[in-house]
Amino acid sequence: MSAASNRSKADKDPTKWLPPYAGYRCQYDTDWIADKTRWGLSVDAAERDALTQQLADCPDRPITVTAAR
């Protein structure tokens, strides 16, 4: 990810920002879910709906959650 792309992302969730490279979006969404799960963070309804819709294009994509230390 470029510095400019990272700045444009800022603190936006998947309802407001997706990686410009479409080939990385499935990984971004699954990483987002794994991080939320790992740290016990909530997901609001808009975020859940966006992730559900986006992941429909990612069949059988595993989500790997690493235990928090």
pTM of the predicted structure, to 2 decimals: 0.79
Successive 10-residue mean pLDDT values, the chain, 69 residues: 59 87 91 94 95 91 87
Residues 6+ apart with CB under 8 A from 36: 42, 43
Residue 33: what are its φ and ψ, rounded to 5°? -65, -45
